[in-house]
Amino acid sequence: MLGSILLATASPVAKGAITVTKDSGDFGYLYEMSTNPSGQDLDGNSTGDWFNATANGLTIPQTYSGGVAVSNQSAGTPETLFRTDYGGSITRNTLANANSPWTVEVSVRKTGGTQGADGWFGVAMQNPGASQSVRVNFEDDRVSYRTSPTNTDYLLGINFADGEFHTMRIAYEGSDSYFVWIDDTLLNTDLSTGFAGGNGSFNTGGSWFMGDFSGGIAGDWEVDYIRYDAGTAAAPVPEPGIILLGAIGVLALLRRRR
């Protein structure tokens, strides 16, 4: 998928370039939605990885069918988000401090309903002890990155409400520097220019929220997987066609030199 960055860009952070690539299937923690992630303990610390109760009327999705987690905003108890805001959760147990690097990838599709002012699915993430968090939203016709108190729009005009699964990958390399890919398209200018976390501090203890965690998000969705890797900020593995194009370009340069 090709897209262009539109409107203002999020404040850049100069840092070392991301050089590692990794397929999300090789991440350390894979939640494939064949079972409820709140009942899993992939880090082996005797605590469930994700919050498994109801708070403020919101709970982790309880419906799992065909390998997807199904949200249902009209249910008696809305099934609307994944969260790690408690001691022993997967992120608090594996991220030591504000500069601990990580990569997360989520695959999600919209299944119905009317989106809110900030879209139909969002993520908000903060390291333990960090002063800033990151927030990215899927909207019907764009992706927005929070540059508080407003959003910056990317991939404007692309249909993200088409019923197909779309991937969001976020890589954090430390020092308040984030990189975002949507369907393997990098939103940053390049792999040396991170986005600054523009969502302020919502939980200094270190927490992740995915789904509907604010009044600005609405609509139903399905999550195919959540994949998380602690300790590494990794770009997606280039598709074979991109590698081939690169090889053809190198051969063309060699022929010119000859």
Q: Where are the domains of the chain?
A: 12-257
What is the pLDDT confidence band of residue 210, given thresholds at 50, 70 and 90?
very high
Return the pLDDT at 258. 44
Between 150 and 5, the higher pLDDT residue: 150
User: Is 148 a residue whose pLDDT tops 80?
Assistant: yes
Residue 28 identity (one-letter amino acid): G
Between 250 and 16, the higher pLDDT residue: 16
Topology annotation, domain 12-257: Jelly Rolls (2.60.120)
Return the pLDDT at 12. 74
Return the pLDDT at 1. 40
Return the pLDDT at 4. 43
User: Is 2 a residue whose pLDDT tops 50?
Assistant: no
C-alpha–C-alpha distance, residues 141 and 24, integer Å: 25
Average of pLDDT values for 102-115? 96
Return the pLDDT at 76. 64
User: Is 255 a residue whose pLDDT tops 70?
Assistant: no
Between 175 and 1, the higher pLDDT residue: 175
pTM: 0.89
